[in-house]
Amino acid sequence: MKKYLLTLSAVAIALTSCDLDINDNPNTPDNDAITADLVFPSIQNAIVATTADIMFNYAGFFAQYFDQMPEANQFNKIADYSITESDQTIDRAYLQLYARALEDIDVVLGKVSNKADILAATALRAFAFQLMVDNTSDAPYTEALKGSAVPQPKWDDGKTVYLGIIDELTSALEAYQAAPDAMTMTDMMFDKNTAQWEGYANALLLRMYFRMHDAGLTGYDTKITALVQENKFFKGDAMIDIFADQTGNRSPFYGSYYALGTANHCASYPIISYMLSTDDPRIAYCFNKSVKDNAYVGQIPGAKAQSKTWNGGEWKNNNVSAVNYALFDGSGVERPGYMFTQADLQFLIAEAYVRFINNDVAAKDAYEAAIKADFDAKGIAGYDTFIAGAKVAWASATDKLKLIYMQKWAALCYMDNMEAWSEIRRTDVPALSPLAAADIFAGDITYNAGDLISPAENGIEAGGLMKRMFYPKRARDLNKNTPAAKKGSDPVWWDIH
């Protein structure tokens, strides 16, 4: 991994400038002497700096893994859903994806003819656009990245973008399969293993097929079934594992928060309640015990201010469980950034076997493989005992889809928060509790462990949960074709529930 450190340092320096138009990127190399091999690692780093830092942060609040520490204030607006476009919460992610990753992907695609290289670049292009759509529903696509020829690209609806990137990725995959060759570019994710890139492309298609199907489009159940039965997916986790304890090279979330000495993130009540109810040892990977009571204590979402009143004025950082920035041994500084976990993939496969293939044995195998993969990725012992527990054992479940979705929510915690938020919106699991935040804090016994909670202070007009991220303010300022502003309660295109 050391061979990648100089590349990463150079990319980190390049990413310090944020005052860019997405169609005018001075960091994009245009010299013919700059090869695709040098550009590809910067693409991977730009994407992981989005998924493992910017989106990881706010999606952690929306998936109700995180809440705002009682004595800190940096993310109050995210915790109580009172953010707006003016807060620029997504702006840096928008810049990372367009002015860095997608611009550079176009550079690579313009320089290579190798089918394996094209497949890898196209897979990351599909992933980048998927991330934007899952956040803002619409995204610049058909007119994007054309420089001065189209300085203000239109924003396509999410369905158009999904259909486009599915077609692009399918074409690149078929071209590679017809004439497979070796990858030539430096690759921080799969180390040029083309079978892994083929498997990653299939996994991205599987994920998008589920969203297309659940949005009411026909034929995707057949596509899901075919992919699962073919079973050509990546092994292990798709991740960028090149971080080290050096300035500019630290793991994105660690470097942006813990390394700066901030203490903003504490555990949210729903995830703590669910993990405790299932005797889940992975709770120790994600969270620390509270200093005051040496117990796992989650804060009611959006209830930082109210908690002080509810506790007679005494509610401090030591009352709640901090997010485990440093993990067990300080290795948070080297923690990988995940682009697609094996656990997430296996849960999708289990879901397919339940919904479309009607194979309970195969569904059980995939469900258990998903949880085992997450235990292994987190380095947590106790899988055999956990999987036999009455609340998670496959044989005990009366609603096996709900069990899959709940355990996916637990597994994605502190691994891929963005995907967790998207899956909550797609599946409506965990469910939103009908109880008020104050009643749950007071101990209403009708609360179901793991149910999501409408924040005690909720900036969404009608209450409820965040359904989308707002359009970037930078897009609003620079592009007259940016759509009219939306509310946080407006769902993305595939969220039709």
Domain span including residue 8: 2-478
Beta bridge partner(s), residue 266: 67, 322
pLDDT of residue 26: 42
Q: Is residue 496 part of a domain?
A: no
Residues 194/116, Cβ–Cβ less than 8 Å: yes
The fraction of the chain above a pLDDT of 90, given in percent, is 86
Whether the per-residue pLDDT at 18 is higher than 70: the answer is: no
Q: Is residue 492 part of a domain?
A: no
Spatial distance between the Cα atoms of 380 and 242, rounded to a whole number of angstroms: 21
pLDDT per position as a tens digit, 255-309: 998 887 778 999 999 999 999 999 999 999 999 999 999 999 999 999 998 998 9
Q: Is residue 489 part of a domain?
A: no
Q: Is residue 282 part of a domain?
A: yes
Reduced to 3 states (helix: H, G, I; strand: E, B; else coil), residue 156 is strand
Q: How many C-alpha atoms does 169 have within 13 Å on its Cβ side?
A: 28
Asked if the peptide bond before residue 70 counts as cis, ω within 30 degrees of 0, the response is no
Element (H, E) at 118: helix 115-136
| Residues in CB range of 190: below 8 A, 6 or more apart | 196, 197, 200, 234, 238
Beta bridge partner(s), residue 238: 340
Spatial distance between the Cα atoms of 8 and 94, rounded to a whole number of angstroms: 20
Q: Is residue 265 part of a domain?
A: yes
Enter the DSSP assignment of 140: E
pLDDT of residue 463: 87
Q: Is residue 488 part of a domain?
A: no
Stretch 394-405: mean pLDDT, rounded? 97
> Residue 449 corresponds to which amino acid?
A
How many structural domains does the chain have? 1
What is the residue-averaged pLDDT of the chain? 92
The CATH number of the domain holding residue 200 is 1.25.40.390
Q: Is residue 115 part of a domain?
A: yes
Residues 280/410, Cβ–Cβ less than 8 Å: yes
Residues 43/101, Cβ–Cβ less than 8 Å: yes
98 torsion bin: left (phi>0), alpha (psi -120 to 50), beta (else): alpha
Q: Is residue 260 part of a domain?
A: yes
Spatial distance between the Cα atoms of 83 and 61, rounded to a whole number of angstroms: 12
pLDDT of residue 49: 94
pLDDT per position as a tens digit, 443-495: 999 999 999 999 999 999 888 999 999 999 999 999 999 999 999 999 999 99
Residues 286/414, Cβ–Cβ less than 8 Å: yes
